[in-house]
Amino acid sequence: MAAPRAPEAPAVPGGTRIPGAGWRSALALSLVAMTVIGSVAFTDDAWPFAPFRMFSVAVRPNGSVVKVDFLGTTGSGRTLRLDAADFGLRRAEVEGQQGDRGRLTDGQLAALAAGYNRAHPGDPLVELRFRRLGRRLVDGEPGEAFVRVLQTWQAAGRG
């Protein structure tokens, strides 16, 4: 008895198009075009169609590494170190709102305190300090640490 023959692959006649090749090519071309345009014209907000530049800048060897945070005092006298997450924000959202001399507007700082107080009515903030923390670099090595209060909000009737 002869062994069965394997079936032959069907021949593709010349000039036959692969099903769906047109829309796949158009999709690939539009993704490439959006990425090129995004790299030239857009900011981090358009990611993934723009470069994510948040961490793409090097710190000078004799510069400073900084971040912002908050120091709050509650009605009971407790002092709390607060980060942007305690206000339902990301640090980049707070840093992106900094204006003149790295400050927030008085209204923005008051709104942060009001939002925190709505979430913590039992022991609300009576004072909120917006701070810049950092460390100076000397020849690329960590040097002196610093903390600078940029601005202070106080509840009405205080100070």
Q: Where are the domains of the chain?
A: 21-55, 64-154
Decide which of 159 and 26 is more confident: 26
| Sequential DSSP letters for 69-83 | EEEEEETTS-EEEE-
Whether residue 65 contacts residue 134, with contact meaning beta carbons closer than 8 Å, is answered with yes
What pLDDT, on a 0 to 100 scale, did the predictor assign at position 3?
Answer: 66
- 87-118 pLDDT, tens digit per residue, is 888 888 888 888 878 888 899 999 999 999 99
For residue 94, what are its two tokens? Answer: 């707070």
What pLDDT, on a 0 to 100 scale, did the predictor assign at position 125?
Answer: 95
- 66-88 pLDDT, tens digit per residue, is 888 999 999 999 999 998 888 88
Question: Residue range 3-11: average pLDDT?
Answer: 61
What pLDDT, on a 0 to 100 scale, did the predictor assign at position 34?
Answer: 82
Residue 49: DSSP 8-state: S
For residue 151, what are its two tokens? Answer: 């601005």
The CA R_g of the chain, rounded to the nearest whole Å, is 28
